[in-house]
C-alpha cells in the first residue's frame, strides 16, 4: 500500500495537480453514486455485482492500510471520502428525481 500512497500523494500535496485530483474524484464519486442508485434503488443485478466488487476492493485496500500503519492513511481517507460523497450524491439524485 505504501507504493500506491507514494503515487497519489503528490496529487494531494502539489496545488498544481489539484485540478486533476478534483476531476478524478468527481468521476469516482459519480461512478459510486450511479452504482448505488442502480443497485439499491432499481435492484439491477449487474449493478449489485459491481457494488459488491467495489465494496470488496475498497474494504481490502482500507484494511491493508490499517493493518500496516495502525491508522487510516491517505488511501483509506480518500476511499472513505469517495464513498461518503458518492452516497450523498446518490441520495440527492434519487430524491430530486434526476435518476
Q: How confident is the model at residue 48 (pLDDT cuts 50, 70, 90)?
A: very high
pLDDT of 95 > 70? The answer is: yes
pLDDT of 96 > 80? The answer is: yes
Residue 76 falls inside a structural domain? yes
**45-69 vs 74-96: helix axis angle to the nearest 10?**
150
Mean pLDDT on 58-82: 91
pTM for this one? 0.88
Mean pLDDT on 70-94: 94
pLDDT of 32 > 80? The answer is: yes
Number of compact structural domains in the chain: 1
Give the pLDDT of residue 2. 62
Residue 5 falls inside a structural domain? no
User: What's the longest Cα–Cα distance across the chain?
Assistant: 43
Boundaries of domain holding 80: 26-96
Amino acid at each position: 500500500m505504501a507504493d500506491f500512497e507514494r503515487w497519489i500523494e503528490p496529487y494531494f500535496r502539489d496545488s498544481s495537480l489539484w485540478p486533476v485530483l478534483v476531476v478524478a474524484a468527481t468521476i469516482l464519486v459519480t461512478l459510486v453514486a450511479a452504482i448505488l442508485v442502480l443497485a439499491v434503488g432499481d435492484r439491477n443485478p449487474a449493478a449489485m455485482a459491481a457494488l459488491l466488487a467495489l465494496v470488496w476492493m475498497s474494504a481490502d485496500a482500507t484494511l491493508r492500510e490499517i493493518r500496516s500503519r495502525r491508522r487510516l492513511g491517505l488511501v483509506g481517507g480518500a476511499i472513505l471520502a469517495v464513498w461518503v460523497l458518492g452516497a450523498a450524491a446518490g441520495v440527492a439524485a434519487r430524491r430530486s428525481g434526476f435518476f
